[in-house]
Amino acid sequence: MRTIDLIQKKRDGGRLTREEIAQLIAGFVREEIPDYQMSALLMAIYLRGMDREETLDLTEAMARSGRRLKFDVDGFVADKHSSGGVGDKVSLVLVPLIASAGLFIGKLSGRGLGHTGGTIDKLESIPGFCAALPLAEFKRQVAEVGAAIAESSSEIAPADHKLYALRDATATVSSLPLIASSIMSKKLAIDSDGLVLDVKVGRGALMETEERAEELARLMVDLGQRAGRKTAALITAMDQPLGRMVGNALELREALSALEDQGPQDLEELTLELGAELLLMAGQAHTRDEGKTKLRQKLRDGSALAKLQELVARQGGDPRALEDPELLPQARGRLEVKARQPGYIKELDALAIGEAAHLLGAGRTAKGQALDHAVGIELLKKVGDHVALGEPVALVHYNSEERLALAKSKVEAAFTVGAEPPAPEALIRKRIA
Ligand code: URA
């Protein structure tokens, strides 16, 4: 069938067959189908949707569009994905933690996107750290160290790289079948035995309502399971940032504290829950509690931190920076943001904090731009905490007065104070498996 006929079919509410989807994706990657036709098709999918079969066929066609990776290891290979949030440094803790418990994990990660941070940018706060690993070296490191974290490669699911760029420019990002196929195609192109997904919901997340987050989570779990992967998802709150640090080197420091079993409670809770899911899948724990106890032990006895040190050293990073975080980039200036009224913190807007960190220079405004690893926001108070009038609620780490001026009002506005303490809200909203 001609491309124009397939666009018309989807535009009119028809369903595309497996062969038609395969033809479209292969033609697009070979540059036989021009961007304008693919953009029209994306809009038709955005408006008409796709059923489960179509979404699975799309995901598999995208996963097949580039190299497939298989690890040469004798053990359970785990993988993890987060739909992105503010202060989300879970991968920095979880990857070495589960590797220290005997699982293997080769994690391809992204850079910051919009107001959300990226694992690779955080790791690049470490002097010398190299995230651009050739796939052969990535595989070797997973076999020899048990864990590697590298930047997503355009060799893996290249169809997604091309489609994502078009979606970004055609207002077709927020379509569930397109998001699910984008995320899962990259995961399915890399072999793993079990995958845990952290689908965030709230002000600072891609999904703002619990219904949409659950729909996305169910769709991705279904895609993973139909493709033969053990897959589970947690729906987790992203109304306020995770942990207390937002910004690249600041988040790395907080991850190091968590690896020394001194991290903030929410970061530890989420990391242990996600890790316990993987231990259950691997048969290394019979219950979630047993899994969490095992992992907590790895934080306490130093083996998780030692695994991160091994990973960083292998990827060219200066391991001294992990022992002495003073060697990590530090901002020249610090400014306290103070409470403008007494009471309890009712809300702490993750989106506003993410945007403020971005304004300080922690994120990019153009592709490939250098960012400032040192800047960010340290949250001294979080939802439920009591504050007195004028008490500091946040510390802004900055390198430029102009940027500070832009960010400061956003940080101030991110805090809502009320007379009564807010009802506590669960961090982990739902588990889908
Ligand atoms: N992350 C992805 O990789 N793809 C999407 O479409 C959205 C978030």
| pLDDT tens across the length of the chain (433 residues) | 899 999 999 999 999 999 999 999 999 999 999 999 999 999 999 999 999 999 999 999 999 999 999 999 999 999 999 998 999 999 999 999 999 999 999 999 988 877 888 999 999 999 999 999 999 999 999 999 999 999 988 899 999 999 988 998 899 988 999 999 999 999 999 999 999 999 999 999 989 999 999 999 999 999 999 999 999 999 999 999 999 999 999 999 999 999 999 999 999 999 999 999 999 999 999 999 999 999 999 999 999 999 999 999 999 999 999 999 889 999 999 999 999 999 999 999 999 999 999 999 999 887 778 899 999 999 999 999 999 999 999 999 999 999 999 999 999 999 999 999 999 999 999 999 9
CATH 1.20.970.10 maps onto the chain at 3-49
Q: Please give the distance of CA 378 from its chain centroid, rounded to a whole number.
A: 20
Verify whether ligand 1 is closer than 6 Å to residue 42 (CB atom): no
Is the Cβ atom of 295 under 6 angstroms away from ligand 1?
no
Does residue 59 line the site of ligand 1, with CB under 6 A?
Answer: no
CA 250 – ligand 1 centroid, Å: 25
List the beta bridge partners of residue 345: 417
Nearest to 118 by CA among 84, 152, 142, 147: 84
Cite the residue boundaries of each domain of the chain with CATH code 3.40.1030.10: 77-323
Q: Which of 58, 179, 199 to mutate to test the pocket of ligand 1 (most atoms within 8 A of CB)?
A: 179
Query: Distance between CA atoms of 121 and 151, rounded to whole angstroms?
Result: 10
Any ligand 1 atom below 6 A from CB of 414: no
CATH code: domain 3-49 is 1.20.970.10
- Which atom of ligand 1 is least distant from the CA of 110? 3
Q: Give the CATH number of domain 77-323.
A: 3.40.1030.10
| Chain position carrying tokens 């990857």 | 95
Cα R_g (the chain), whole angstroms? 22
Q: Answer for the pair 93, 252: CB distance below 8 angstroms, yes or no.
A: no
Taking the centre of ligand 1 as the mean of its atom positions, its distance from the CA of residue 74, in whole angstroms, is: 31
Check if 157 has its Cβ closer than 6 Å to any atom of ligand 1: no
SS3 state at 161: helix
Comparing CA positions, the residue from 178, 166, 182 lying closest to residue 38 is 166
Beta strands, E only, 143-224: 147-151, 194-201
CA distance 378 to 359: 15
pLDDT at 143: 98
What residue owns the CA closest to ligand 1's atom 1?
183
Helix-strand-coil percent breakdown of the chain, rounded to 5?
Answer: 45, 15, 35
Residue nearest atom 3 in ligand 1 by C-alpha distance = 183
Ligand 1 center from residue 160 Cα (angstroms): 9
- 110 CA → ligand 1 middle, Å: 10
pTM across the whole model: 0.95
Q: Is the CB of 220 under 6 A from ligand 1?
A: no
Supply the pLDDT for residue 153.
86
- CB of 172 sitting under 6 A from ligand 1: no
| Contact 183 CB / ligand 1 (< 6 Å) | yes
How many Å lie between the centroid of ligand 1 and the Cα of residue 84?
9
Report which protein residue has its CA nearest ligand 1's atom 7: 179
The DSSP 8-state label assigned to residue 424 in this structure reads: P
Which CATH number is correct for 330-418, 3.90.1170.30, 3.30.70.20, 3.30.750.24, 3.40.50.150? Answer: 3.90.1170.30
Q: Are 90 and 198 in contact (CB under 8 A)?
A: yes
For position 111, what pLDDT does the model report?
A: 85
C-alpha of residue 29 to centroid of ligand 1, in Å: 18
Give catalytic residue positions: 81, 160, 167, 182, 186
pLDDT at res. 19 = 98
Q: Distance, CA 363 to ligand 1 centroid (Å)? A: 17
DSSP character at residue 13 = T
Report which ligand 1 atom has the smallest distance to the Cα of 179. 6
Which residue has 């590298």 as its token pair? 150
Q: Is 182 in the pocket of ligand 1 (CB under 6 A)?
A: yes
| pLDDT for residue 130 | 98
What's the number of CA atoms in the CB half-sphere (13 Å) around residue 414?
A: 33
